[in-house]
Amino acid sequence: MKMMKKHKSTSENSENQSRDRKEAVKNSNLKNQSRDRKGAVKSNCFYFYEYIFRGPNSIKFFAVAVPVSLFLVFCVGCGILIPSAHETKIPAEFKLTDYKGRKTLVLVNQPAWLGAPLVLRQQLTERINDYLVENVKLGPNDIIDYEQLSDFRAKRVDYNMMTEAQIGRALGADLVLLVVLDGFNMAKLPDVDYYNGELGCQAILIDVESAKKLWPQEETARLIKVGFDFEVRGQELAINRLASAAAYCITKYLYDCRKDKFKIADDRSGAQWQQW
């Protein structure tokens, strides 16, 4: 009986020793694997460091990375972003504010053969005057109003024989914004009180003293065409809409206009206006 217990104890000790050896081998393997991974990472970091900072491409890397990084930090820190259409401005073809303090006369020439209502001339003149103040930022005293021009026209029997520069000089103007209407069409749609309309004109800016054209410089005149297919508010407002659109399209060339405000829906100037 004692021999059996002794044999059993010896067998258990052998099993424990075998299990301890296996655990030791396993732990050793794990340590070796961990050490190998650390060594690989360290080696890779070393090679990366050598390639970037000491390798043949190190100069190229710094030449590109450093300026780009500094630029990005500067832009983020200062809030500098690529300008949007709201922030971008289209430079003026003629900056009328450079002539601030000099009086401007808006002179609309509406020939009788055009067949347009006489109120169109007044509405177009007044809307141009409004935009010269609102958008171009001229002072109200820098503009000769329509009533003064209308009174002068009624009193001068030789008005139709006078040049634009002579009219401007007689009214105390330094500049004359001449607008010549050359096309008008308005029609009522059948069975409804809707209208479609179109208006064409040419605009030039004249220096009164020299009687020479200041704008546009490379063309005989700035050609403007506006129109719409539907106006549901009646004929009077349809005419006013044409006048307002034409006035806007003329004056937008005389100041730095925001890009997102430059083109309006009723603008039909140019051959490719339908692609807008």
pLDDT of residue 5: 44
pLDDT of residue 113: 94
pTM of the model: 0.69
Whether the pLDDT of residue 41 is over 80: the answer is no
Q: What domains does the chain contain, in order, with CATH numbers?
A: 39-81 (no CATH), 89-275 (3.40.50.10610)
> Do 124 and 116 meet the contact criterion of CB atoms below 8 Å apart?
no
Alpha helices by DSSP H, listed for the chain, are: 2-49, 58-78, 119-134, 146-155, 164-170, 235-251, 259-262
Confidence of residue 192 (pLDDT cuts 50, 70, 90): confident
Q: Which helix (H) or strand (E) holds 227?
A: strand 222-231
**Sign of dihedral through CA atoms 71, 77, 78, 81?**
positive
pLDDT of residue 218: 85
Confidence of residue 190 (pLDDT cuts 50, 70, 90): confident
Highest mean predicted confidence (pLDDT) among 42-46, 53-57, 126-130: 126-130
Q: Cα(74)–Cα(68) distance, rounded to whole angstroms?
A: 10
Give residue-wise pLDDT tens across range 158-184: 999 999 999 999 999 999 999 999 999
Whether the pLDDT of residue 127 is over 90: the answer is yes
